[in-house]
Chain A
Amino acid sequence: MTKASAALLDVTGLRTRFHTPHGIVQAVDGVSFSIQRGQTVGIVGESGSGKSVLARTIIGILAKDGSVTTTGCLAFEGRDLLKLPEREMRDVRGKDIAMVFQDPMSSLNPVKRIGAQIGEVLKRHLGLRGRAAETRSAELLASVGISLPAERLRQYPHQLSGGMRQRVAIAVALAGEPKLLIADEPTTALDVTIQAQILDLLRRQQLARNMAMILISHDLGVIAGRADAVAVMYAGQMVERASTRSLFHSCCMPYTQALIRSAPKLPDPPHTRLRAIPGRPPDMLRPPAGCRFNPRCDYATDVCRATQPMLSAADADGTHLYACWHPVGGHGVLP
């Protein structure tokens, strides 16, 4: 398939298990998707659905002490990152794949100057040091919209606001000129007014650099206008995957529908009750049998409680996939 061979990252059957004293947690359970150069894939799901673990699995920064096992295939430009020795993987991290974390208050080292935190990436991956690294760092800061970049380099994170720190974190991620940027809820910890600025900044940088991006959020609104494709995660599994347009127009999975409906809408009169999803995400130590969403699903029947649905195509070319026995929106039989 030509599409697959052109993919920058091809994730197939990825599983990440945490071995805890209480048992095994399947944080990522058989996730597959691919991302092309310059493309944005949005990943949505509630807290605890495995989004962040997926991100950390891809960039390979989970514990290496045997408490975490990962299986499947992570083909990045044809190389399986899971089979790469740690030493070679270190050359991939920060250079080919970079990451922006959720909370800029805690993701920058509080006792290191901004300049040093950008500079170490330049030194590690591009061999830049001294004045060259300083000039490049200042350029990076300027490109993410930070004023007086040369002076900021000498400052510490606590001297900057939250929005500024996230810009610095983005500059750090861009320093190695990555081909893939993983943004793990990059705006969740920020003020609403700053959120759009940061998302637009990410979008601009992505277009300018022809960089692929995995944009993780629990907020479909964040993803809606910015991702080419969206994957919905629930309890460690990918339950629906489609182009953004297709997902918003004709979602199949009741969970996706519930996510879309639970977002507040501007035309709603004030004090309209939000359509929250009843119940809680499942206990990942003992996930429910069958479809993992069945205890919270309005459409659940006996087959949902007994057998797990496989991903199946909703359209002719197989770009819209969903895992549900009773898909909504006309793609299947409604109960």
Chain B
Amino acid sequence: MIFSDYLFLFAGMGLVTYLPRALPLLYLAHKQLPQWLVDWLSLIPVAILSALLAPSLFADSTTRNFDIGKPELLVAIPTLIFALKTRSLGGTVLVGMLLYWLTGLYN
């Protein structure tokens, strides 16, 4: 691909990424939101993070089958405990990476 192909591709990707990020904010930030919507939206972060995370721990990404024995899940348990105890984002990332690296070395 040449420069203009890349520019077209990435400008298109950028546009379809930017609009979902911007439009709700631009619209809703100048509205008085009803209480039920505020309550519902407060549950969105935990729901999204859990939905992003769970399939990567409990399912094989190539075959899309249920899998309870993944090293990702094994490492997630001490990593979760570390996160609960310390509430340190940087520390959790490092501990997770280290443990995952170690499980790779012993497999």
A, B co-complexed: no
Q: Which residues of A contact B (CB under 8 A)?
A: none
Q: Which residues of B contact A (CB under 8 A)?
A: none
